[in-house]
Structure 1
Amino acid sequence: MSKVWEENFSYNAKNVRPSPVREMLAVIKQPGMISFAGGMPAPEIFPVDEFYEGVHILKEDGKNLLQYGTTEGYPPLKEFLAEWTSPRMGKVAALDEMLITTGSQQALDLFSWAIIDRGDFVITEDPTYLAALSTFYNHGAEFLGVPCDGEGMQVDLLPEIIEKARKEGKKVKFIYTIVNFQNPGGSTMTLERRKKLVEISHKYSIPIFEDDPYGYVRFDGEHLPSIFSLDDAGGVIYAGSFSKILSPGSRIGWVTGSKEIIRKMTVFKQTADLCTSTIAQALVAEYCRNGHLDKHIPVIIDNYRVKRDAMQESFKRHLEPLGVSWVKPEGGFFYWLNFPQINTKDLFKKAIEKKVAFVIGEPFCTKPGSGIHNARLCYTFPSPEVTEEGVKRLAEAVQELAQIATV
């Protein structure tokens, strides 16, 4: 490393936490590799033709769309989202209660700018979305992890965690949760726990960040009310994304909350990227206005349900006899596997030798040493046939490690 850079890096640059998934892309792209690692949608069901129908808007309104847009977002898209999300949100959001972001990942970053001071504490599920942990960490946050079970975050543990933290002088700034088909755990928070979480938020005056990129991709059961809709105090902010219901390449997300927090996030977005691509917003808005989004979501659900079930059956055939366990998700993208007695760092190395990749569990956890027996596998990208072969290879890796351990 050049000395001139080493001497001038900021504190944040010296301590930045990279994405484990992004860092392993070179490994994943090896020829013949079967990857269950990245949370990638299935490209064969991207609505290419339907999306292309909206291109005419560039001809009709190109002089405006090719110009700088407003930081708050493209009004026609916001108007559509306000109406379309209203059943889930419990109301039609006002336009100043909504911000269009460059993917929902940016919503995490902007919220962090508005809320986190170095040394603050964030309450999260444990495990939780690793890119959220990286974002909060890079803004200087520390973590209080709450264990999860098949019904999501164990909310009843929160009062003791919060009171203990406050007695120790820790400043708890917000609670971060993925309530539907949690990444990576796959569980969905029950309605009873959602209501309890709102009560705790009110009692301790701690806001909630409800991250819901997978909520519309439900295979089984009924949709549950959002935490946002259960709150009447304006203390919940809700983030959604087109990445999982249209395409990640659109890079369009949105966030809904009280106008006070939305305004602060908007000001930070002004300095981050001025505005999300107006062209991308307009194309997404036209796609939605033509009714394609509502027609496409069932296509996604049908495709992913088949793939989830195929992975489940492969697990039963090849991994369950080896003592591996998991929670069957009702929707979303991921399985979270538990490999008793096996460190998944070792398993990853053995699996790569067999040309199959996954993400180890440790980066999803708030405590060092946690998640060492876990792994996250994505089922949405590979075909059922590829999944079967990949799980078979993974089982072979497990067996070989077990044999080494007994020698």
Structure 2
Amino acid sequence: MKYTKTPGVISFAGGNPDPAVFPVAEFSEASSILAREGRDVLQYGATDGYMPLKEYIAKWMAPRMGRETKPEEMLISTGSQEGMDLLCSVLLNDGDTIIVEGPTYPGAIHAMRNRGARFLSVPCDKDGLCVDMIPAVIEQGRKDGHRIKFIYTIVNFQNPSGSTLSEDRRAKLLDIAEKYDLIIFEDDPYGHLRYTGDHVPTIFSMDKKQSGRVVYACSFSKILAPGTRVAWIVGDPDLMQKMVMIKQGTNLCSSVVAQALVYEYCRLGHLEGFLPKIITHYGKKRDAMEAGFRKYLPSNTVYNTPEGGFFFWLQVPGIDSTTLFMKAIEHGVAFVTGPSFFVDGSGLDFMRTCFTFAQPEELEEGAKRLGAAIKAL
């Protein structure tokens, strides 16, 4: 990270939203809830979350979830990372195994390793997790002594690959989880940020039996502002209650002030107005980064254009991204190297670039610098 903060370096590295579009005035307006209900929201709150916010999320998310979820099915967490940690603390014993995508989100790898997890990795392609490979991985893994507890997947505009798990694969994944008695952890921080194409139903909504097999997580970090540290996780009530008990022993409750501010912002209708704005804003940035790549990167560079989210996932065959990173810093541009996203450290010739944080005038220049760095190797 110290290299990305070097003066003059254009950062395509961190997966940050653009602060230029943060809804500062609207959030300031939402702070009026403190004058109105301050004696309540400045007090300790319920561990499972601020009820008005939970009720709002349940109604707002009902079209995506297939139904309005019940309060006992939802836990408000301090960012998605906490929800992930709580789930692992309930489901995992030291040495248990999680099936993950290759590549996947490094923060998930760290959180899961902190709870003693081992991993079995399944590749991704342009349509997301290669679901047809999972049964063989499960069966061989169990023969090898792996105690597999759940399957972790970032279903929409995956970090880092940008791929979206197809509807057909989602249905197959649910069938596989039922056959092998596994939980699916459906992580969806980017699902609302679709720039092209059609929405794909959540796996949670496909579980018509309401088996409790799917745990769904989402966050306000990408669709509002990460400084709120407000996210939510939905699943079987018994599982949620166990997570609540763990949370009681760690931080008691997520900030009630933050939850109340987010609720009031949403209640005032600002979220519904803000989403189209950032979808247009980020969609233009995605297009600008792609145009820069087409213009400046070598012709053998491999990537797919994401339909949403934050990231491009690039492969330059034969180029070690860890070596390229230092050359890129010399040329004034930063990215994240491929091995960061694989549990086995593979992916040497891959890199992730984020298009949401850099300003419009930096996107083409950053692509130009990256192309020059590649050619210099």
TM-score interval (norm. to shorter): over 0.9
- Cα-Cα RMSD: 0.8
CA displacement at 1:54 relative to structure 2: 1.3
How far does residue 255 in structure 1 lie from its aligned partner after superposition? 0.4
- CA offset digits 1:303-355 (Å, max 9, x no partner): 0000000000100001143x211111000000000011110000001111112
| CA-to-aligned-CA distance 1:228-279 (integer Å, 9 cap, x gap) | 1111211000000000110000100000111011111111111121111000
**Alignment-mate amino acid for residue 94 of structure 1:** K
**Aligned counterparts of 1:157 and 1:55: Cα–Cα separation in 2:** 49
| SS of equivalent residue, structure 2 residue 95 | coil
Determine the C-alpha separation between the residues in 2 that align with 1:285 and 1:384.
31
1:224 to partner: Cα distance: 0.7
Q: Aligned to 1:356, which of 328, 333, 336?
A: 333
Q: Distance in 2 between matches of 1:361 and 1:300?
A: 28
Q: What is the alpha-carbon distance in structure 2 between the residues aligned to residue 60 and residue 367 of structure 1?
A: 52
Matches within 5 A, 1:230-249: 230-231=206-207, 232=209, 233-249=211-227
Whole-angstrom distance in 2 between the partners of 1:378 and 1:310 = 12
TM-score where L is the length of structure 1: 0.91
Aligned to 1:206: 182
Q: Secondary structure at the match of 1:325?
A: coil
Read off the aligned partner of 1:327 and give its amino acid letter: N
8 Å CA contact 2:95, 2:118 repeated in 1: yes
**1:334 lines up with 2:311 in the alignment:** yes
SS of equivalent residue, structure 2 residue 191:
coil
Task: Report the 3-state secondary structure (helix = DSSP H, G, I; strand = E; otherwise coil) of the residue aligned with 1:78.
Answer: helix
Aligned residue in 1 for 2:343: 366
Percent of matched pairs sharing the same residue: 52
Corresponding position: 1:171 with 2:147: yes
Aligned pairs for 1:2-401 within 5 A: 24=1, 26-231=2-207, 232=209, 233-321=211-299, 323-368=300-345, 370-401=346-377
- Residue 198 of structure 1, CA deviation: 0.2
Letter in 2 for 1:66: L
SS of equivalent residue, structure 1 residue 326: coil
AA in 1 matched with 2:41: L
Alpha-carbon offset, residue 384 of structure 1 = 2.6
User: What runs of 5+ residues in structure 2 fail to find an aligned partner?
Assistant: none
CA distance in 2, matches of 1:385, 1:106: 35
Contact (CA 8 Å) 2:122, 2:134: kept in 1 or not?
Answer: yes
Residue of structure 2 equivalent to 1:3: none
SS of residue matched to 2:58: helix
SS of corresponding position for 2:249: helix
Give the AA of the match of 1:124: V
Cα distance in 1 between the residues matched to 2:316 and 2:323: 11
The SS at the match of 2:31 is helix
Q: Which whole-Å CA distance do the structure 2 matches of 1:332 and 1:326 have between them?
A: 15
Whole-angstrom CA distance in 2 between matches of 1:289 and 1:192: 35
Q: Name the SS of the counterpart of 1:57 in structure 2.
A: helix
Q: TM-score, normalised by structure 2?
A: 0.98
Note the C-alpha offset of 1:383. 2.1
**What is the one-letter code of the residue matched to 2:214?**
V
Segments of 4+ moved more than 2 angstroms: none
Deviation digits for residues 157-216 of structure 1 (CA, Å, limit 9, x no counterpart): 011110111112211010000010000000001100000000000000000000000000
What one-letter code is carried by the residue in structure 1 that aligns with 2:206? L
- Secondary structure of the 1:302 match is helix
Following the alignment from structure 1 to structure 2, what is the Cα–Cα distance between the partners of residues 271 and 44? 37
Distance 2:35 2:343 in 1: 49
